[in-house]
Amino acid sequence: MKSLILGSVLVMSLLGLIIILFRKRIGLSFFTSFGIHLVLAAVGIYVVNYSGWITGTYIPLNPATIGTVSILGLPGVGLLLGLKISLFG
């Protein structure tokens, strides 16, 4: 019974989201732009981790770090590196 209720809430919220997206004319361009930002953020963190520019630092790939880099861009990578070096030596 609990899974039926949760499933119906999920379906209703998904339908509501789709209606809002297409009524506001956001469409698929938003998802394309968002996907490109996520991929570039992951690539930026990957390059820093495995290029050897700064030895001994590793930025984990998790939603918080990818979100930070996708919002801030390359300065977000610098921010994460600065936090990593200053907080954890």
Distances (CA, A) of 79 to 14, 58, 61, 69, 89: 35, 13, 15, 9, 15
Q: With a cut of 80, say whether residue 89 has pLDDT above it.
A: no
Q: Are 21 and 27 contacting, i.e. CB atoms less than 8 angstroms apart?
A: yes
**Amino acid making up residue 10:** L
DSSP 17-47: HHHHHHHTT-HHHHHHHHHHHHHHHHHHHHH
**Amino acid making up residue 35:** G
pTM to 2 decimal places = 0.61
Whole-number average pLDDT of the chain: 82
Q: What pLDDT digit, counting tens, does each position of 25-60 carry?
A: 666 777 788 888 888 888 888 888 888 777 778 888
